[in-house]
Amino acid sequence: MYYAVSIAILVTMGLALARAVLGPSVYDRVLAANMFGTKTTLLLAVIAFLYGRPDFLDLALAYALINFIGVLAVLEFFQIRSLRRAAKHVEER
């Protein structure tokens, strides 16, 4: 059963990677990267149970926190960049 779950997670990771590359907007790409990170966390948890290594769960939790903070930082960067562009556009008028 763990093998089927692992394969399903890998398939969804592939789909998320495709969306991250082909996404029509920056926000779609960031969301896909976040989904890829979440699926990586799930895969680490499944591997931990599959091999009987509970220490991998600590790695999965650490990766989940880093993924969350990273996505927030990237979204903040793009929001500030769009606000600066809007201010520059208004200033040019």
pLDDT on residue 64: 94
Helix extents (H) in 1-93: 2-22, 26-51, 55-92
Which residues of the chain, if any, have pLDDT below 70? none
pLDDT on residue 66: 95
- The pTM score is 0.81
Q: CATH code at 75?
A: 1.10.287
- Contact call for residues 34 and 50 (beta carbons, < 8 A): no
Domain count of the chain? 1
Domain housing 65: 2-92
E strand residue ranges, the chain: none
Q: Tell the residue number behind the tokens 């500030």, with chain if given.
A: 80
